[in-house]
Amino acid sequence: MFQLPPGRGVCAVFFHIRDLGLRPAPFDVELPPGAIDFLDPKIRQAGPLKAKGRAELVSASLDEIRVKGHVTVAMEADCDRCLEPAACPVDGDFELNYRPVTEGYGDDTVIDPSEAEMGFYEDGGVELKDVLREYVLLSLPMQRLCRPECKGMCPVCGKNRNLGQCQCRTETADDRWSALKSIRT
């Protein structure tokens, strides 16, 4: 695992509902790769993540927290076709809302449509890293390719076709083999 350099371990920014009740909390952070666990080995942070914005209390009665701002980060994912790194830059505005987890959601609980996009928090507040992880993962394209024209891997031998042809396909290759065989025999 990535080891945070000394002094950089204090990347944790926690927005407590009690503090937001008094005033909004601005943030301006730069997180090195490894500071956020993206929970998927196929997705990696390739450079510093810069995020700036603020957290505020939207509704005191619902304890609803809104975190909004701008994030820039070079992400990297395994190419869907060849598994080589595919660059996925993220550079965008985000706005995510969170409400406290409510105890005892039963079958008869009606969740109104506005809550469909709602995040939920525990322990009295929202961790900035969790917000940034959520936004970055949501921002990544569904199809992740190292390049639009990626040729992918040979399904037979697994060779990366971007690096050249393998022997297991195409008629021309077969012809050459048969020609070689006839010479040998």
Task: Tell me 19's DSSP state.
Answer: H
Task: State which of residues 73, 82, 96, 153 lies at the interface with Zn ion (CB under 5 A).
Answer: 82
Q: Coil, strand, or helix at residue 55? A: strand
Longest CA–CA separation in the chain, Å: 88
Q: Which is nearer to Zn ion, 157 or 163 (CB)?
A: 157
Coil/strand/helix, residue 52: strand
Grouping H, G, I as helix, E, B as strand and the rest as coil, residue 165 is coil
- Given 168, 173, 179, 180, the residue binding Zn ion (CB under 5 A): 168
Q: Does 157 bind Zn ion (CB under 5 A)?
A: yes
Judged by DSSP in three states, 106 sits in coil
* Position 144 contacts Zn ion (CB under 5 A): no
- By CB under 5 A, is residue 146 in contact with Zn ion? yes
SS3 164: coil
| C-alpha span between 154 and 156 (Å, rounded) | 5
Residue type, 145: L
The closest of 167, 141, 129, 146 to 27, measured between CA atoms, is 129
Q: Applying CB under 5 A, does 81 fall inside the site for Zn ion?
A: yes
- Number of DSSP helices (H) and strands (E) in the chain, helices first: 3, 8
How is residue 114 written in tokens?
């506005």
Specify the stretch interacting with Zn ion by CB under 5 A; choose among 7-15, 40-48, 140-148, 177-185: 140-148
Q: Is residue 156 a contact point for Zn ion (CB under 5 A)?
A: yes
Residue 173 interacts with Zn ion (CB under 5 A)?
no
60 versus 157: smaller Cβ distance to Zn ion: 157
Shortest approach of Zn ion to residue 80 CB, angstroms? 7
Per CB under 5 A, the list member of 4, 74, 140, 150 interacting with Zn ion is 150
| 166 sits near Zn ion (criterion: CB under 5 A) | yes
- Least gap, CB of 33 to Zn ion (angstroms): 21
Cβ-based neighbours of 152, under 8 Å, separated by 6 or more: 81, 82, 161
Binding mask 51-80 for Zn ion (x = CB under 5 A): ----------------------------x-
Q: Which residues make up the interface to Zn ion (CB under 5 A)?
A: 79, 81-82, 146, 150, 154, 156-157, 159, 166, 168
